[in-house]
Amino acid sequence: MKIMKKLPLTKPKMSKFFAITHQPKSHLPNHLKPPKANQTLKRYLNSNCNTKAILFFRELVRHSPSSIDSFSFLFVLKACTKKPFSLEGKQLHTQVIKFGFHPIIHLQTSLINFYSASGNLLDAHYMFDEIPSKNIISWTSLISAYVVNQEPQKAVELFRKMQMLYVEPDQVTITVALSACADLGALEMGEWIHAYVRRKPELKADLSLNNALINMYAKCGEIETARKLFDSLGEKDVTTWTSMIVGHALHGQANEALELFCKMEEIGKKNSKNQEEGNRGSSIILPNDVTFIGVLMACSHGGIVEEGKKYYRSMSEDYGLKPRDVHFGCMVDLFCRAGLLKEAYNFILEMPGQANAVMWRTLLGASILHGEIELGEKVRCQLLELEPGHVGDNVAMSNIYAAKGMWDKKVIVRDQIKQLRRAPGCSSIEVSSYISEFVSGDDDHPLKADIYEALKYLTIIIKAYG
């Protein structure tokens, strides 16, 4: 069990942002008097005025510290988490300690969420370790922190540890754990969680939990199971539809994905018409930007270029959704898979903002596949400006030069590769619901000897069969 060691939490020096200066209550402005302080903080938080909430709290600290209670800190911590305000949140943590509210569990849990939002898993885990009586909310907050910060393996390890300590998960914990399984491709663990939900009648599978199950099965390769679950649900929201559309697209099932999207649009139009006629109970489900990622992926995998263009335009024209980099990337992939390299190149040049390295790299790969050396060299020049130290781009160009018999240029690129260092590859495998991670060149695995013995045996068998 890899559980993070306790590390001392960094406590920043108090800045004037949260400096306390006591003044007599008679000098307090009316708007800072105690009964209204938390109401004002809550109003700022609900209206998403996070900066105003922090500034108002600063005034409370300066002029009316007696009006501050644990809920005041809770509201301001949530404001710091939303942005996130990393420095101000750390200073607020110091104030929590100074005011003596540190042992309060809902503040400790909020601090876990704050450090998670700041990408600071060390301090998030430290805060968790500081809680003497951990409840399901604190466990879920830490598991979620690892999922959000793309450490799903540690999230699964924590979920297992929680069960070993006989802490019963709730629906939220289960949903977060399923998300970790989806990211890892840990099907066995995901199936075990699904069976656990069935065994526990008190764990009623709500829509969020069912959505997580569909997403898990789809991403773990069980697309048929995901579709059966999808079809069995009476209630569906945009996440339900999107998870299934993306699932079909990931499995190369373009027709199924697009048929499902058309059905989603039909239901949305029908419900919209019902609402206009005054019929209640018909909720309007509109596709979001993630739905269109699945649709464009489906068009790309299916080689449906004109349909892809139509859906790309529909995204903004019919639904008012602004395309993001991921949508631009899907369009580049669509053109490249169809062999329309010049169209892909022009699309990148004409798109708003600067194209990222992934888009250029997609075009580079297509240029190599189709033997377009001149275009490949142009693309590589762009990549040298964006990510000059990426070894893979040089390897790709070396391969295209070799394929064309341009050995002099191949040697030059190969010499450049020797000067760069490639990040080691990493892979993971699930065996009996346990996930082992392997890094290229790593010999620290506890079962190293057994693994190499098995590989040696497999090599002998392969050679025997020629």
Q: Which helix (H) or strand (E) holds 435?
A: strand 434-439
Statement to judge: residues 112 and 1 lie in one domain: yes
Q: Is residue 158 part of a domain?
A: no
Q: What is the pLDDT of residues 195-239, one digit of tens each?
A: 999 998 888 888 999 999 999 999 999 999 999 999 999 889 999
Query: Is 361 a domain residue?
Result: yes
Model confidence pTM above 0.95: no
Within a domain: 386: yes
Q: Which residue has the higher pLDDT, 22 or 102?
A: 102
Q: Is residue 174 part of a domain?
A: no
Q: Is residue 122 domain-resident? A: yes
| Confidence band of 158 (pLDDT split at 50, 70, 90) | very high
The alpha carbon of 46 is separated from its chain's Cα centroid by a whole number of angstroms, namely 24
Instruction: Assess whether 430 and 418 both reside in one domain.
Output: no
In this prediction, residue 77 carries a pLDDT of 93
In this model, does residue 423 exceed pLDDT 90? no
Higher pLDDT, 188 or 18: 188
pLDDT at 307: 95
Do 70 and 125 share a domain, yes or no?
A: yes
Q: Do both 3 and 124 map to the same domain?
A: yes
Look at residue 101 and tell me if it is in a domain: yes
- CA-to-CA distance for 170 and 193, rounded, in angstroms? 12
- The pLDDT, as a whole number, for residue 4 is 47
H helix runs in 187-324, sequence order: 187-199, 207-219, 223-232, 238-250, 254-276, 289-302, 305-317
- Among residues 133, 164, 180, the one where a domain terminates is 133
**In a domain? residue 40:** yes
12 or 137, higher pLDDT: 137
Q: What percent of the chain has pLDDT over 90?
A: 52
Shared domain for 349 and 448, answered yes or no, is no
Q: With beta carbons less than 8 A apart as the criterion, state whether 44 and 84 touch.
A: no
Average pLDDT in the chain: 84
| 106 and 23 inside one domain | yes
pLDDT of 280 reads 63
Residue 30's pLDDT is 47
Burial class of 37 by CB neighbour count within 10 A (0 to 12, 13 to 18, 19+): buried
- 358: containing domain: 340-422
Q: What is the pLDDT of residues 34-56, one digit of tens each?
A: 447 888 999 998 888 999 999 99
Band of residue 435 on the pLDDT scale cut at 50, 70, 90: low
How far, in Å, CA of 231 to CA of 244, rounded?
Answer: 10
Identify whether the C-beta of residue 213 lies closer than 8 Å to the C-beta of residue 179: no
Whether residue 431 is found in the same domain as residue 417: no
Residues 432 and 402 in one domain: no
Q: What CATH number does the domain containing 400 carry?
A: 1.25.40
pLDDT score recorded for residue 27: 42
Regarding whether 429 and 408 lie in a shared domain, the answer is: no
State the DSSP string of 17-50: GG------GGG--GGGSHHHHHHHHHHHHHTT-H
Sign of the four-CA dihedral 341, 343, 345, 348? negative
Instruction: Examine the pLDDT at 442 and tell me if it is beyond 50.
Output: yes
Share of the chain above pLDDT 70, in %: 82
Tokens of 256: 């199924």
One domain for residues 88 and 121: yes
Question: Do residues 116 and 16 both lie within one domain?
Answer: yes
Q: Are residues 115 and 14 in the same domain?
A: yes
The pLDDT confidence band at residue 3, using thresholds 50, 70 and 90, is very low
**What pLDDT is attached to residue 385?**
84
Domain end position, chosen among 422, 441, 456:
422
Domain closes at, from 82, 114, 133: 133
Number of domains the chain contains: 3
In a domain, 76, yes or no: yes
Residue 423 has a CB neighbour count (10 Å cut-off) of 11
